Amino acid sequence: MRSSLEGKGVLVTGAASGIGEATARRLLDEGATVVGLDLASEAPQTLSDASGYLSGDALDSDAVERAVARVVETAGRLDGVVHSAGVGGGGPIHLLPDEEWDRVVDVNLKATFLVMRAAL
């Protein structure tokens, strides 16, 4: 049976570990053309057959635009985005320094904006 993801171009952020890595692996298994973007310098072994992997920050609009362009180059189009890059505060909120909160908001909100803007 042919997968409905066969030939679809998908960008996955946070692709080097956790939910992002597992999602990218599943998309590959279903026949999608996957490009991963993550801070890690190299793709995990589980994604060695990905169509592309870029080391970059989802907070860097140039890196995000390069990742979207790579999907379009390899798949001919961008059909979907899984924005899995994200961080937690790392402690109780009443002890969280302002700088750490700013980082959480940047990674979890601003990066989402940058990825969606580039995808459109």
At 5, is the secondary structure helix, strand, or coil?
coil
pLDDT at residue 110, as a whole number:
97
pLDDT at residue 42, as a whole number:
87
Q: Read off the amino acid at residue 55.
A: S
Q: How confident is the model at residue 61 (pLDDT cuts 50, 70, 90)?
A: very high
How far apart CA 51 and CA 73 sit, in angstroms, is: 10
Q: Are 47 and 21 in contact (CB under 8 A)?
A: yes
All structural domains of the chain: 9-119 (3.40.50.720)
Q: What average pLDDT is seen over the chain?
A: 93
